Chains A and B, each alone.
Chain A
């Protein structure tokens, strides 16, 4: 009973000093619940099946991310409880001298963790359930769905999941605490407050050498992910710059903590001005003892900035590219004229084999679908592919050079050809430039950036190609911008356009039909879409093979994917930010007792309040901005890399998403900074 009272009192007492820890825990619980409860909100949405599929995928991914998030939060909770323990060493010392056994102290800690756990879970879940009502509006908005009716949403699944995950986290903390108590010695506990930190001055030369080598390592890592990005061939290559970056980050914090002090100390006029010497020493000793957590925080901030900016820009570019990338309502394609050899080889059924000799229009007729009744602007074009003409043939003499630069591309992929008149029909429909060719010329249409680069390398050498016995020379020494198939991103790796008479049906591979729906309103178009989807139930369906992409499905997929990426980015971003800010805040606050003594000393020798507050502010500001500044520098290069990876989604300029990220960062990180400052100010206040 006494233990119960003691632990309850302890929580009450520390609540004020560690409000920020409780706050973070509650926030963590709330966010965990909100993102895991999204599933139950989407049930109410009035969305099509394809959107629902993406939502299902998102829910799966979010629960995957949740596992990762729980690791981050678990790390934070254990880290925080270590701080809390350290601060209470003296208290435990007194308990031990009074004759309390270590087992009882463990019991106190156990009870405390249980109390903290229950309080944070209850409050966090209440807040989470409250906020998730707003989340349903956000979810509906992101998926561009109508919120049919508002109902109070409560996900018991998310609730149970949150309780289990956090329960495990708290259990780990308990085990950790018990181990820690078992290890400590009474003499250390009693003297812990008097133990003055040993200040080791690092050798400035070693610092400089380490700093320079860290900068070199970083520069190389930066180079790898920006200028040298083409050299990153296999997925494992990316680990080199990542590992280099991590090591360099740690080394930079290690060396800078000593170096900055040394540098400022040499400017004696600045160093011996006001409280500068005190502030600098404080910071350097703090960074010295937190090199590892500083690095972790820096990297977490870096990941946050990159994930957040890229997820926002994916969303933006996904939706904004659609108008230009999907100029028509539907693209139908089917494989044509399957040869007997192929039939045997790939095991086509007789029905499908026969079907391949029918046009798209005829195939659709067997399903009782009349294209003229529903479609307008019908444009039919043909793709020709020869087994004897691969990508390496297009590259000509430049093959070796290109291979050197991009060794992993499939150079034996067969090239696609199109008749000039066919392409011009498409170009007219898409409102893009049309071309003309002499009888011995060809040109290449592409819009996938890295493929354009490869092809341009070859086109510069003006390779002659040989197709069906005709030799052709390139008209341009560059690929022309353009595409045939509708999609949510730039995926045209290249189509070779040749004069009409060069190609014949012996190498005909597929037929593509582009069309618009007959209908002016969204509803009318949706009706036709539904009829098309209904064809999937037609009994004759097995006998024909048709592929279709429609504007509506692409649009839904893009909006859905964009929303999914945003949600995951948001989830990870918030968790990373609050975790790193909370670690910094806790570190600062846990030293408040030591700092209180120091600031009192300053007061006794006559420093006025204003200077003291200023010193405290500067000290905390530098402590908070140190990892942030390095993270921002990392991000400048990291975002370049993200941009490269996300190139297929379109090179939307990232300014907008970076601004959003900055606002987000300032609110959360800045908020934590201010709370820390005011809490510390309160702690060091003379009473």
Chain B
């Protein structure tokens, strides 16, 4: 399988010489096309920084990140925006929907900023809405939706541009368990049906158990990596818990 995302010796430092914090300390890994990878770690382990670097929102201190063989650490200015717009899809913990727009308009915005004609926008939204079962909330404003509904709108916005890579930052963080389950199942659906590549950052073992591979990070370094392979989700979940236990007490509070 070809690698869609490849990180090479990525480092990210904060602070100055006298007080240096290594948020990411020499991390290398790759994600293949069609994979659903979860990155787990406690608060402050550097997982969100890592995601920000991959999503080009933040810049690495050293190292390279390749997405589809393009070195995104070398992109600048409007190229960066174009890349973000066309190649990446984002799902955030706090949804990041525009509160003034309806669900439909929020999804449409991802396409309209790339100058997609309206007819195509409408067609694509209708298609994705029926697949993600959000047709009934398209006309609602974010304040009229539940957390799960908001996150499904956000997911629709993330995938409507057919991005090469979907980045999800604690997508279930603000959801109740039922909504979480629905969202994660739709991730699985996207992964299987659309062959979307998903990289999800989470500290929740339950969420991580939906992924096909889990990478554990501790203090900016890769601590462990487990693969689901043919195991059932329950078995995979137990395995994740085992690693979390080894990781130390840090993560226990998340369970």
The count of A-to-B residue pairs whose CB atoms sit within 8 angstroms is 94
Contact with B along A174-215 (1 / 0, CB 8 A): 000000000000000000000011110000000000000000
Q: Inside 8 A of B84's CB, which chain A residues have their CB?
A: 604-606
Tell me if A275 and B118 are in contact (CB < 8 A): no
A608 at the interface (CB under 8 A from B): yes
**Which of A268, A275, A277 has the most C-beta atoms of chain B within 10 angstroms of its own C-beta?**
A277
Q: Inside 8 A of A275's CB, which chain B residues have their CB?
A: 109, 112-113
A window 100-154: CB within 8 A of B: none
Q: Shortest Cβ distance from A97 into chain B, in angstroms?
A: 22
A285 at the interface (CB under 8 A from B): yes
Q: Shortest Cβ distance from A411 into chain B, in angstroms?
A: 64
Q: Inside 8 A of A606's CB, which chain B residues have their CB?
A: 81-86, 88, 110, 113
Are A278 and B143 also in contact (CB < 8 A) when A273-B118, A604-B57 are? no
Q: Inside 8 A of B115's CB, which chain A residues have their CB?
A: 273-274
Q: Inside 8 A of B141's CB, which chain A residues have their CB?
A: 198-199
Q: Shortest Cβ distance from A270 into chain B, in angstroms?
A: 9
Are A608 and B81 also in contact (CB < 8 A) when A272-B112, A274-B113, A277-B108 are? yes
Tell me if A605 and B90 are in contact (CB < 8 A): yes
Q: Inside 8 A of B142's CB, which chain A residues have their CB?
A: 196
Tell me if A268 and B118 are in contact (CB < 8 A): yes
B213 at the interface (CB under 8 A from A): no
Q: Inside 8 A of A604's CB, which chain B residues have their CB?
A: 55, 57, 84, 90, 92, 96
Tell me if A197 and B90 are in contact (CB < 8 A): no
Residue in contact with A609 in the complex, picked from B81, B83, B108, CB distance below 8 Å: B81
Q: Which residue of A lies closest to B142 (CB)?
A: A196
A281 at the interface (CB under 8 A from B): yes
How far apart sit A282 and B99, CA to CA, in the bound complex (Å)?
A: 10
How far apart sit A341 and B92, CA to CA, in the bound complex (Å)?
A: 101
Contact with A along B123-156 (1 / 0, CB 8 A): 0000000000000000001110000000000000
- Could you tell me how many residues of chain A have their Cβ less than 8 Å away from some Cβ of chain B? 29
Q: Inside 8 A of A277's CB, which chain B residues have their CB?
A: 101, 105, 108-109, 112
Tell me if A269 and B113 are in contact (CB < 8 A): no
Q: Which residue of B lies closest to A282 (CB)?
A: B100
A window 283-303: CB within 8 A of B: 285
Q: Shortest Cβ distance from B65 into chain A, in angstroms?
A: 17
Q: Which residue of B lies closest to A200 (CB)?
A: B141
Tell me if A278 and B101 are in contact (CB < 8 A): yes
How far apart sit A273 and B112, CA to CA, in the bound complex (Å)?
A: 5
Q: Is the interface of A mostly helix, strand, loop or mixed?
A: helix
Q: Shortest Cβ distance from B132 into chain A, in angstroms?
A: 18
How far apart sit A281 and B143, CA to CA, in the bound complex (Å)?
A: 15
Q: Inside 8 A of A274's CB, which chain B residues have their CB?
A: 112-113, 115
How far apart sit A607 and B90, CA to CA, in the bound complex (Å)?
A: 13
Q: Inside 8 A of B96's CB, which chain A residues have their CB?
A: 601, 604-605
Are A611 and B113 also in contact (CB < 8 A) when A272-B108, A273-B118 are? yes
Q: Which residue of A lies closest to B86 (CB)?
A: A606
A window 584-625: CB within 8 A of B: 598, 601-611
B12 at the interface (CB under 8 A from A): no
Q: Inside 8 A of B82's CB, which chain A residues have their CB?
A: 606, 608
Q: Shortest Cβ distance from A661 into chain B, in angstroms?
A: 36
How far apart sit A546 and B83, CA to CA, in the bound complex (Å)?
A: 92
Q: Inside 8 A of B203's CB, which chain A residues have their CB?
A: none
Q: Inside 8 A of A545's CB, which chain B residues have their CB?
A: none
Q: Which residue of B lies closest to A196 (CB)?
A: B99
Tell me if B78 and A281 are in contact (CB < 8 A): no
Are A598 and B113 also in contact (CB < 8 A) when A605-B157, A607-B81 are? no
Are A605 and B85 also in contact (CB < 8 A) when A274-B115, A277-B105 are? yes
Q: Which residue of A lies closest to B96 (CB)?
A: A601
Q: Which residue of B lies closest to A284 (CB)?
A: B100
A651 at the interface (CB under 8 A from B): no
Tell me if B86 and A197 are in contact (CB < 8 A): no
Q: Which residue of A lies closest to B158 (CB)?
A: A605
How far apart sit A276 and B88, CA to CA, in the bound complex (Å)?
A: 22
**Which of A285, A604, A609, A611 has the most C-beta atoms of chain B within 10 angstroms of its own C-beta?**
A604
Q: Inside 8 A of B100's CB, which chain A residues have their CB?
A: 197, 199, 278, 281-282, 285, 598
Q: Shortest Cβ distance from B138 into chain A, in angstroms?
A: 13
Q: Inside 8 A of A268's CB, which chain B residues have their CB?
A: 118, 122
B249 at the interface (CB under 8 A from A): no
B117 at the interface (CB under 8 A from A): yes
Q: Shortest Cβ distance from B108 into chain A, in angstroms?
A: 5
How far apart sit A198 and B142, CA to CA, in the bound complex (Å)?
A: 9
Contact with A along B11-30 (1 / 0, CB 8 A): 00000000000000000000
**Which of A274, A602, A606, A609 has the most C-beta atoms of chain B within 10 angstroms of its own C-beta?**
A606
Q: Shortest Cβ distance from B80 into chain A, in angstroms?
A: 9
B195 at the interface (CB under 8 A from A): no
B121 at the interface (CB under 8 A from A): yes
B window 90-104: CB within 8 A of A: 90, 92, 96-101
**Which of B81, B86, B115, B122 has the most C-beta atoms of chain A within 10 angstroms of its own C-beta?**
B81
A window 233-272: CB within 8 A of B: 268-269, 271-272
Tell me if B101 and A281 are in contact (CB < 8 A): yes
Tell me if B113 and A197 are in contact (CB < 8 A): no
Q: Which residue of A lies closest to B143 (CB)?
A: A196
B window 39-88: CB within 8 A of A: 55, 57, 77-78, 81-86, 88
Q: Which residue of A lies closest to B111 (CB)?
A: A272
Q: Inside 8 A of A198's CB, which chain B residues have their CB?
A: 141, 143
Q: Inside 8 A of A598's CB, which chain B residues have their CB?
A: 98-100
Are A269 and B118 also in contact (CB < 8 A) when A196-B142, A199-B100, A605-B113 are? yes
Q: Inside 8 A of B81's CB, which chain A residues have their CB?
A: 603, 606-609
Tell me if B110 and A605 are in contact (CB < 8 A): yes
How far apart sit A602 and B99, CA to CA, in the bound complex (Å)?
A: 12
Q: Inside 8 A of B109's CB, which chain A residues have their CB?
A: 275, 277-278, 602, 605
Tell me if A281 and B105 are in contact (CB < 8 A): yes
Q: Shortest Cβ distance from A269 into chain B, in angstroms?
A: 5
How far apart sit A282 and B109, CA to CA, in the bound complex (Å)?
A: 14
Residue in contact with A607 in the complex, picked from B77, B101, B113, CB distance below 8 Å: B113
**Which of B82, B101, B113 has the most C-beta atoms of chain A within 10 angstroms of its own C-beta?**
B113
Q: Which residue of A lies closest to B122 (CB)?
A: A268
How far apart sit A604 and B96, CA to CA, in the bound complex (Å)?
A: 9
Q: Inside 8 A of B83's CB, which chain A residues have their CB?
A: 606
How far apart sit A478 and B191, CA to CA, in the bound complex (Å)?
A: 92
Tell me if B99 and A197 are in contact (CB < 8 A): yes
How far apart sit A281 and B99, CA to CA, in the bound complex (Å)?
A: 10
Q: Inside 8 A of A285's CB, which chain B residues have their CB?
A: 100
Residue in contact with A272 in the complex, picked from B57, B85, B121, B143, CB distance below 8 Å: B121
How far apart sit A610 and B79, CA to CA, in the bound complex (Å)?
A: 12
Tell me if A609 and B86 are in contact (CB < 8 A): no
Are A610 and B101 also in contact (CB < 8 A) when A272-B112, A277-B108 are? no
Q: Inside 8 A of B105's CB, which chain A residues have their CB?
A: 272, 277-278, 281
Q: Which residue of B lies closest to A594 (CB)?
A: B99
Q: Inside 8 A of A276's CB, which chain B residues have their CB?
A: 112
The 5 closest A-B pairs by CB, nearest first: A606-B85, A606-B84, A608-B81, A281-B100, A196-B99
A-B contacts besides A268-B118, A601-B97, A601-B98, 11 pairs, CB < 8 Å: A196-B99, A196-B142, A198-B141, A274-B112, A285-B100, A605-B109, A605-B110, A606-B83, A607-B81, A608-B82, A610-B78
Chain A positions near chain B (C-beta within 8 angstroms): 196-199, 268-269, 271-278, 281-282, 285, 598, 601-611
Q: Can you pick out 21 interface pairs between chain A and chain B where the beta carbons lie within 8 Å of each other?
A: A196-B99, A196-B143, A197-B99, A199-B99, A271-B118, A272-B121, A274-B112, A277-B105, A277-B108, A602-B109, A604-B57, A604-B92, A605-B110, A605-B157, A606-B84, A606-B110, A607-B81, A607-B85, A608-B82, A609-B78, A609-B81
Chain B positions near chain A (C-beta within 8 angstroms): 55, 57, 77-78, 81-86, 88, 90, 92, 96-101, 105, 108-113, 115, 117-118, 121-122, 141-143, 157
